[in-house]
Chain A
Amino acid sequence: MDFAKLKRRLYYWIHQIVNILLRLTWHLLHVTIHLCYFAINIANALESHLISKGLLRRYKSLHISKLQYLAIVIESEDCRTSNVIELLQWLADLGVKHVCLYDMEGILKKSKDFILEKFDGATLFQENDVLLDQPLMTLEFASFSDGKEAVAKAANVLFMKYLKSGSTSSYQGEQIFTESQMGEALKTVGGNGPEPDLLLVYGPARCHLGFPAWRIRYTEIQHMGPLKSMKYGSLIKAIYKFTMVQQNYGK
């Protein structure tokens, strides 16, 4: 009897020790990954420095005309307006004409007037400004409520239209609405700007944080790291990578 109890105790302790060892291995693995990323970041910082000094030939000429609409997603907690204005200045220097600034909580939207005041190279984006060549940059501000909630509002708009049209016969299974009608409805509720070609994410993770789903069908998404460690060279590299991409659109 005693022997059985002893055996159970032994197995229990072996199990605990193995668990602790596994956990230690897991933690060690993650520490190693952290160190790898640290080294990669240093290499990237060096490369950005070289790019911004114009020493890397590849990045000297940027086909910026390919970039018609740029969206920037910023982590809400990192949203320092000084950094945002500096970033906008870099974009203006590169010749980017249309920019959409997005953050989940709408902090950028609230500081819209302040940003437009401090950065005098831009005007607020209007619906019919789409892709026209203008001397000033157009700026659009978006937040999480321009995504899913805008779709709900657009659904209500479409529903009202459906009721008004008086088509009371059952259309079960038939396509009542088309995607272009949805796009129009989104425009009326103010949630449908142009589709960005490139989306830069300034935050801890490569994640679009709820940017309006309807607009990012074929948008290239690139992760730039936290906003406070933004670099001019990384920006050029990201835009260069974008200009090299070829899209098939499913074909």
Chain B
Amino acid sequence: MEGAGHKIGFSALMSMLKYCYEFGVRYVTVYAFSIENFKRSPEEVQSLMDLMLEKIEEILKEQSIVNRYGVRVIFSGNLKLLSEPVRLAAERAMLATAKNSKAVLSICVAYTSTNEIMHAVQESCEEKWDEITLLNSSGAGYGLISLGGYEQDEMDHLIKLTDIEKHMYMAAAPDPDIIIRTSGETRLSNFLLWQSANCYLYSPSVLWPEIGFRQFLWAILNFQQIHFYLDKQRKQS
């Protein structure tokens, strides 16, 4: 049956989320669908989109996990690549849960880290452009649009790192402390590359649909062992 593995994967996700929220983990990010996954067979992509639509509708119901734990749901990624019904459902879910403040669940759909960085750079450029246009139109521009108005040094720092960071899809959540990648795979596959500089990367050999409390607890205990070191690294950067 097409998509059966994904359905079981979804229930594994729900139980992991329950453990996270019971433990008091406030920010959880999930890699649901990569831009690269669009290259899969159209049947599989369609069944995944249908599953996503079905589960988003479930999330919006009263007794669902997001309402029980006060979770705000954010869909991170290039949502324009999704089909209309899925995109609209995602936007509705974001609107419906916007007032929840106890935890944040970021679902990465149509997401890759390189696309996120590119998008943030583009948004920063557009914002800077609007700023300059505004200055120019109010007469305070002194011809800033023509490049002669800036020193070379200033030109190299028009767009700052903070501008780019605030336009990231994942700007609503702080940098993660632990990234769990299942199936024993040791690569990040274009997931949170920017945000994982001081993050513990945990790669259990278990497959995602089989993941359970044991792996979750082990990840946390290992993280606690190196927590002091990672904190120090974070303060240094």
Contact = CB atoms under 8 A, between A and B. Distances in A.
Contacts of A207: 196-201, 226, 230, 233
B155 to A, nearest CB: 6
B46 interface: no
Given A217-B113, A217-B190, 6 more contacts: A30-B225, A33-B221, A177-B118, A217-B112, A218-B190, A245-B186
Interface stretch (A10-18, A45-53, A119-127, A145-153): A145-153
A103 to B, nearest CB: 12
A158 B121 contact: yes
A99 to B, nearest CB: 19
- The listed residue with most B CB atoms (<10 A of its CB), out of A30, A164, A179, A217, is A217
Contact of B186 (A30, A179, A221, A249): A221
Interface of B: 34-37, 39-40, 112-115, 117-118, 121-122, 124-126, 128-129, 145, 147, 155-161, 164, 185-190, 193-194, 196-203, 221-222, 224-226, 229-230, 233, 236-237
Nearest to B222: A33
A250 B226 contact: no
A160 B155 contact: yes
Given A206-B200, A207-B198, A210-B237, A33 B225 contact: yes
A218 B189 contact: yes
Contacts of A149: 161
B194 A213 contact: yes
A152 B186 contact: no
A176 interface: yes
Contacts of B203: 206
B117 A176 contact: no
B36 A164 contact: no
B201 A220 contact: no
A30 B224 contact: yes
Interface of A: 29-30, 33-34, 104-105, 144, 147-149, 151-156, 158-160, 162-164, 168, 171-172, 175-179, 182, 204-210, 213-214, 216-222, 245, 247, 249-251
A162 B230 contact: no
A179 B187 CA distance: 20
Contact of B202 (A160, A172, A206, A216): A206
Nearest to B115: A179
A161 to B, nearest CB: 10
A162 B129 contact: yes
Contacts of A221: 186-188, 201
Given A149-B161, A250-B189, A205 B121 contact: no
A34 to B, nearest CB: 8
B125 A159 contact: yes
A218 B128 contact: no
A250 B32 CA distance: 12
B164 A155 contact: yes
- The listed residue with most A CB atoms (<10 A of its CB), out of B39, B161, B186, is B186
A152 B157 CA distance: 8
Contact of A214 (B114, B158, B229): B114
Given A155-B164, A222-B186, A171 B200 contact: no
A18 B118 CA distance: 52
Nearest to B34: A250
Contacts of B117: 151, 182, 213-214
Contacts of B128: 159
Nearest to B38: A250
Contact of A152 (B164, B185, B198, B230): B164
B218 to A, nearest CB: 9
Contact of A250 (B36, B157, B188, B222): B36
Given A151-B121, A176-B125, A214-B114, A159 B226 contact: no
A79 to B, nearest CB: 14
A247 B37 contact: no
Contacts of B126: 171-172, 176
